[in-house]
Amino acid sequence: MPTLKFPRQEPIGSPMGNIIRSLFVAAMCAGLAGCAVEEEDPVAAEIALLKQDFPPMADRPPADPTNGVADDAAAARLGQKLFFEQRYSENGQVSCATCHNPGTAYQDDRNNTALGLDFTGRHTPTVLNAAYVVDPETDTNWMFWDGRKDSMWSQALGPPEDAKEMGGSRMGIAFMLYDLYKEEYEAVFGAMPTLRDEDGTALFATEGKPGTNAWDALSAEDQTAFSRVYSNFGKAIAAYERLVVSGNSAYDKWYAEVVDGGAADSSHLSASARRGLSLFIGKAACGTCHNGAAFSDGGFHNTGVEQSGPHLPAEDYGRADGMASMVADEFNCAGEFSDHPNKERCAAAHAEDLEARQGAFKTPPLRNVALSAPYMHTGTLETLAEVVEFYDDGGSDSGFSGEKDEEIVPLNLSESEQADLVAFLESLTGEDVPAELTTEPELPPDP
Ligand code: HEC
Ligand code: HEC
């Protein structure tokens, strides 16, 4: 783990160390007199581990100090409209919901990689519970498989201008907000810059982004004004995404009764899922990386996923490239558009202390994972059984960049153990997101 020079929260501890320690203590104490009762009992050791490294999911995600309207209801209502809005995309047909379809767990099951204007080189991860995935080392909600964005709102500024995804531009988005959403925007963010004269004639080019002539023709001050409107667009969308939460799964009900409630057992997990949980936090060591309330440590690991399949680049350096992009990003936590009260605490201000391993990808959260096939950044594993088999094999032998994490080794699980792990993963499916959040709200008519 990198040594960071800036103040941060206490890390939740090394889960692997805890797993080994608790199970070791359980084994040692089994034969020794004088051990506390809870240490003699492997189940009690598991419960202690669950309490420490797998806390229940809070109703609301952790605060986002980089987004001043993160928990503002009016911002979220505007953000929901913008999430479903297609009119700023190049062909007027792509919205966030095209790839993050609420009907398929806010991801994309049409192909292994995402399809907007063209195919992208990676699978669409889910937006569900994504705000819960915070890296305790840096207090950062890393976004994208490679963490090239350090907040949810700055993430939302990637796809709209990306040529393969939506092909829009920040000047076009500012005009859309001005023409269709001015009142709602100003109620949340204050006055918009004046973009049209009294006759409605545009005072600036109506499309433009960095790298275009229209953008280069603007004064630095006007560029900043457009980028500020653009950052607010992202902040409204992020406020909506923070409401896209699904908890209270069978596992959570079991947890409430057994871990929090002290009951000996609970009918909420089948015997197979219960054995799968023991494997997950024990022998199969999944919990080394998939821990915390959303079953992600918020960090990056190399599990050896082969770059083989349709639309995939031959090489994907993952975190190594993502780190460089994050540091250079004008919209990062340390930049002028971030609302962080103490930018010295941003990871971007201390990037030299962060690890950027080649071929490492963000640990995805596992809540609702049964609903979000296909899997991995490549979208090439089609079922949870295939994922478990992948881990049982110790990842792929070749075809990926960098070196695998040391935990990724053959597990020698029996077929029934593999089935138990799948049953456990299936127990993580939570309640439906309320329909008023998953449906497209009424959007303003064309002017
Ligand atoms: C063309 C399909 C497509 C569109 C359109 C799209 N996304 Fe994505 N989204 C993806 C893909 C693919 C990734 C992962 C890309 C990567 O990691 O390089 C992603 C990643 C994300 C993530 C990161 C999740 C995580 O856990 O890291 C969020 C959040 C997200 N998108 C939200 C949005 C929002 C908001 C919009 C609209 C402004 C949007 N997306 C538009 C395909 C799309
Ligand atoms: C060394 C850390 C690590 C360990 C150990 C680990 N995972 Fe993962 N897991 C990851 C990372 C990183 C990814 C994404 C890899 C990629 O796409 O390149 C992932 C992806 C997944 C996915 C796909 C989720 C999605 O939305 O695409 C599932 C399911 C999963 N892991 C389950 C497990 C299970 C079950 C185990 C134990 C057998 C396990 N993991 C062990 C880090 C880990």
Average pLDDT over every residue of 195-221: 98
Phi, psi of 196 (to 5 degrees): -135, 155
Residue 83 lies in a domain: yes
**Would the pTM of this model clear 0.75, i.e. be above it?**
yes
Whether the CB of 98 sits within 6 Å of ligand 1: yes
From 207, 288, 310, 272, select the one nearest 417 (Cα to Cα): 272
Partners of 301 in the beta sheet?
Answer: 361
Q: Token digits for 316?
A: 């994907």
Please, are residues 230 and 157 in contact by the beta-carbon 8 Å criterion? yes
Phi, psi of 323 (to 5 degrees): -65, -45
Residue 109 lies in a domain: yes
Is the pLDDT at 183 greater than 80? The verdict is yes
Closest ligand 2 atom to the C-alpha of 125? 26
pLDDT in tens, 138-174: 999 999 999 999 999 999 999 999 999 999 999 999 9
Residue 236 lies in a domain: yes
Residue with tokens 């809540």: 367
What is the pLDDT confidence band of residue 447, given thresholds at 50, 70 and 90?
confident
pLDDT in tens, 249-272: 999 999 999 999 999 999 999 999
The size of the chain, in residues, is 447
CA-to-CA distance for 100 and 95, rounded, in angstroms?
9
Is the pLDDT at 58 greater than 50? The verdict is yes
The C-alpha angle 275, 278, 284, rounded to 5 degrees, equals: 110
Residue 166 lies in a domain: yes
CA-to-CA distance for 206 and 174, rounded, in angstroms?
8
Looking at residue 34, its pLDDT comes to: 45
Partners of 119 in the beta sheet?
Answer: 115
Q: Sign of the C-alpha dihedral, residues 392, 394, 400, 405?
A: positive
Which DSSP helix (H) or strand (E) runs through 273?
helix 271-281
With a pLDDT cut of 70, the percent of the chain lying above it is 91
* Domain hosting residue 192, numbered range: 73-133+144-245
What is the pLDDT confidence band of residue 216, given thresholds at 50, 70 and 90?
very high
Looking at residue 12, its pLDDT comes to: 39
Closest ligand 2 atom to the C-alpha of 359? 18
3-class secondary structure, 360 = strand
Whether the CB of 156 sits within 6 Å of ligand 1: yes
Whether the CB of 166 sits within 6 Å of ligand 1: yes
From 221, 307, 280, select the one nearest 428 (Cα to Cα): 280
Residue 306 lies in a domain: no
Is the pLDDT at 27 greater than 60? The verdict is no
pLDDT in tens, 74-125: 999 999 999 999 999 999 999 999 999 999 999 999 999 999 999 999 999 9
Alpha carbon of 156 to ligand 1 centroid (Å)? 7
Please tell me the number of the ligand nearest to residue 367's CA.
2
Residue 285 lies in a domain: no
Query: What is the number of structural domains in the chain?
Result: 1
Residue 151 lies in a domain: yes
Q: What is the CATH number of the domain that holds 230?
A: 1.10.760.10
Average pLDDT over every residue of 344-353: 95
3-class secondary structure, 115 = strand
Alpha carbon of 127 to ligand 1 centroid (Å)? 8
Residue 259 lies in a domain: no
What is the pLDDT confidence band of residue 20, given thresholds at 50, 70 and 90?
very low
Alpha carbon of 25 to ligand 2 centroid (Å)? 27
Average pLDDT over every residue of 346-371: 96
pLDDT in tens, 364-373: 999 999 999 9
